[in-house]
Amino acid sequence: MADQKIKISPLKKIWLALIAIGPGLFMIGYNIGTGSITTLASAGSRYGLSLLWVLVFACIITFVMLVAYQQFTLVTGETSMRGYRKYLPYGKFFALVIIVGMALGEFVGIAGIMGVVTNLIEEWTNLLFDGNGISPIISTAVIVTAAYILFWNGKYTIFEKFLITFVIIMGLSFILSLFIIVPDPSELVKGMIPGVPEGSGSFLLIASIAGTTSGAIVFVMRSIVVSEKGWTIHNLKQARVDAFWSAFFMLILSGTIMALAAGTLYKEGTPVENAIDMVKMLVPVAGRFAISIFVVGVIAAGISTIFPISLILPWLISDYTGTKRDIKSPMYRILGGVAFILAFVVPVFGGRPVWVLVFAGALQSVVLPIATIAIFILLNNKKLMGEHKAGLWLNIGLIVSIVFAFITTYFGVVSIAGEIRALL
């Protein structure tokens, strides 16, 4: 009897496999939210899949940077902000710049994300219940209360399983939506030839796709997440595989969203600016059932982004000061509470949640060059990294990432400046 094998169901095997790459799926929670969905839907509705090459390139850069940041942490045992402080000239200053930039992006972004999610819930329930939709304030209160209860009582392993669940829901929803709403996805392959469509709007979308897919927040937080997972230098190979699957799933999910818009709205000549417009325009094409599947995916994307975002500031402070990451400590609970309170700003006071997300993205883009140059210097420190110093291919990838970071920052600053001028 001792040699008898325990039978595991196929679903259990899939779940165990996903748990094994938990940190990678955790990063998807940071990466794919309502901001990226809006950008990808707008790109697909305007230009079909002609900008898919930008998404592919951004996911490759994401993979390189995930590997870079996790390699530093797994080899040295130091997380990113601590590494900046100890091993870089003016490291304290650069670490503080990143912390402030990401904290501002966190607080602004969580307001915009919740605004989009709750507005979408209201529009969706209006469609389902003939105008009797759920108020954004009520849906915000329900989501925030549930999230904060989990935050108050949880720990990383619980958060990881929570996010994996929502990432699975998001992925299944988008992929099912693609096959239900777009009858023959194979036709979309014709639009994958790389190119830059005419018009200045295409340049802004190129920058937006790159910025929402390869954000500094994903790379910096990767360092903390692999440390929280308990991985060490012995997990280098496992971490690379995890990073690959993370970037791969980012590409599949993001590409599905773009293809969904390209296969329907692009043919109809109806460009969209946000997820709510997409829902309104797709109803005559797809019907309520198919739209409901898509909306569930968007809501899952929003919730899976809100939760890890609330951890950014306290995690970075612990990282910078070298103190224990105790989610049940007063600092974590207070800063998490502040983040969740800010989720009420757009639902209560109104505003343009999409513009708020653009502003948050611009704040993140400013710190991207610092994050890429810093890890390049650290990984090429022979005394620090020893035999795990960055090799030829990783250095090539890092140099390309640095160039990419400056281009993204330029377009991010230009875009937010244009938005500000439009408001004046």
Q: What is the pLDDT of residue 379?
A: 94
> What does the domain layout of the chain look like in residue ranges?
22-380+388-423
Q: Please, how many CA atoms are within 13 Å of residue 95, restricted to the half-sphere of its CB?
A: 22
Contact 302/117 with Cβ under 8 angstroms? yes
Cα separation of 26 and 14, whole Å? 16
| 214 class by beta-carbon count within 10 Å (0-12 exposed, 13-18 middle, 19+ buried) | buried
CATH number assigned to the domain with residue range 22-380+388-423, chosen from the 4 options 3.40.50.2300, 2.40.50.140, 1.20.1740.10, 3.30.200.20: 1.20.1740.10
Nearest to 70 by CA among 250, 230, 310: 230
Residue corresponding to tokens 């915009």: 112
| 10 class by beta-carbon count within 10 Å (0-12 exposed, 13-18 middle, 19+ buried) | exposed
Q: How far apart are the first and last CA of the chain?
A: 77
Confidence of residue 70 (pLDDT cuts 50, 70, 90): very high
Q: What percent of the chain has pLDDT over 90?
A: 8
Cα separation of 69 and 376, whole Å? 9
Q: What is the pLDDT of residue 1?
A: 45
Name the DSSP class of 5. Answer: P
Residue corresponding to tokens 């829901």: 169
Contact 112/360 with Cβ under 8 angstroms? yes
Digit-coded pLDDT (tens) for 187-232 = 556 555 666 666 555 666 777 777 777 777 788 888 888 888 888 8
Digit-coded pLDDT (tens) for 9-61 = 665 555 555 555 556 666 776 667 656 777 787 788 788 788 888 888 888 99
Report residue 122 as tokens.
Answer: 């209201």
Q: Does 2 have pLDDT greater than 50?
A: no
Cα separation of 264 and 286, whole Å? 9
Give me Rg for the CA atoms of the chain: 21
Cα separation of 102 and 365, whole Å? 10
Mean pLDDT of 229-249: 87
Lowest mean pLDDT among 83-97, 156-170, 245-259, 342-356: 342-356
